[in-house]
Structure 1
Amino acid sequence: MDWAVGGSNHVEKRRGEGSTLSTVACIGPGAYSPASGCLPSKEINMTRLAIRVAVAVLAFGATRAASAQGPVDSALVAYIASIRAIDNHAHPMRPVQAGAPADSEFDALPLDGIPPFPLPWRLRLENPEWRTAQSALFGIPNNGSDDAFRATLHARRAQELRARRDGYPAWVLDRAGIDVMLANRIAVGQGLQPPRFRWVAFADALMLPLDTRGEGARSPDTRSLYAKEQVLLRPHRRAPSTRSSRTIV
């Protein structure tokens, strides 16, 4: 929301690009003139009444139109439900069996080193939407305490992972209605193979070929990230295709 001052006679409030302007103050000589854009209080009240009547009429008309609609084409509904999505940005993790090293290549710039910051409500773990989604994905009942639900969830996930092994990620895509996932990872591995998973490699390090320690120290928000980019740059420098290139320092 931003504020725009219209001369000395009125102040206008904007709510987004292309939206209407509403006068919040009209002061000074000639404030009620047509050129100023301000209206006397009586005219303002009449205008507000007209707007309310128009909104009520439109709402009534929309309700009648909705109730007059015919039944939905069941074949069309079935076709729409059969359309699977393309996830164009994801960081899927490799299926790791119990006792194996954890997957550390799912993101070039993980947020672990960034100072804590508050998340919006829908991204917080206490948001009940997460539990609803987990219940649907793994086919477990959505009842009981959070601790009991979490224990059931972890047990079911471990069971599916043991049974499906490298096929586990593709099974998750099937359950979620996803056809293809673009995997933004440092490297891919077992279980994340085409055609279901398409690798999107990171080229960030190639944009930072020089010493970035000074730049990285400017802010704690990025301090750990520049160091990670330097680690990713080393394999590019050692690669035969770039070893003799003058574009790689």
Structure 2
Amino acid sequence: MLNPPKPMPFFEALAFAEVFSALASRVPKLVPPFGMAVVRLKEHLAGKVCQLDFQLSCLQQAVFFKSQLYQSFLDHHFEFRFEAAVANHGGADVERLEEVKALIADGRGTDEIKECLALAATMLGLGEEGVKLEFLMSQEERLSKWRAWQPKDPRLQLAPLLVRSQVWKKTAGREFAELVSMLAPWKGAIAHLSHPVLKQLVFLLNKLLAIDSLEEASRSHAEASRVELLFAGEFFGRSSAC
């Protein structure tokens, strides 16, 4: 029972534990030590027991900890913690980072999960915003993965700018202008990025901002001149009347 031919899926392991739980509630004496260990493990993973005490001898614990049944429980518990960490959108970055580090230290999970954890550790860490942004936007897959962790991150609005074909072939001029305008708050952070599309867009944005500044200066100058003329006309009109 403890070592089936292959790792036991969690729902089977849980059903296996339920048998011992039901039996322990009726006739505790019929439940062997390993059965009670399974029951305690189930209660621990369900959050009913804070500290896990198997009440087994050293030899029994060695057998139990190496069993595929126990590993199945641990694998499920890791997946549960990972999913909870991803879904904790409102949590503080510091707390989320600590949980991510704990999951990384656990060493479990698929390669995809490990990549997600590495991404989260970088984005939730204390690195410079420019470095984070360059890391996030260096691969389109990272944007989609980070969206699961922080769906309201304003940096995700820049995602369409990374798809060259979408920007130049499928986006209307007005929409493209709106996309470019999204770069303005991040202009300082992305000034030194190596992404070719972003470099061109930042160059375009700087040109547009320069033109806008010139036009604003021109409008201000014209307005000042108009005020001076009106003032002069009123002054000379009064002088003539005198």
What is the TM-score of this pair, normalised by structure 1?
Answer: 0.19
> Of the two, which has the highest radius of gyration?
2
Point out which structure has higher relative CO (alpha carbons under 8 A, 6+ apart): 1
In terms of fraction of residues, the more strand-rich structure is 1
In terms of fraction of residues, the more helix-rich structure is 2
What is the TM-score of this pair, normalised by structure 2?
Answer: 0.20
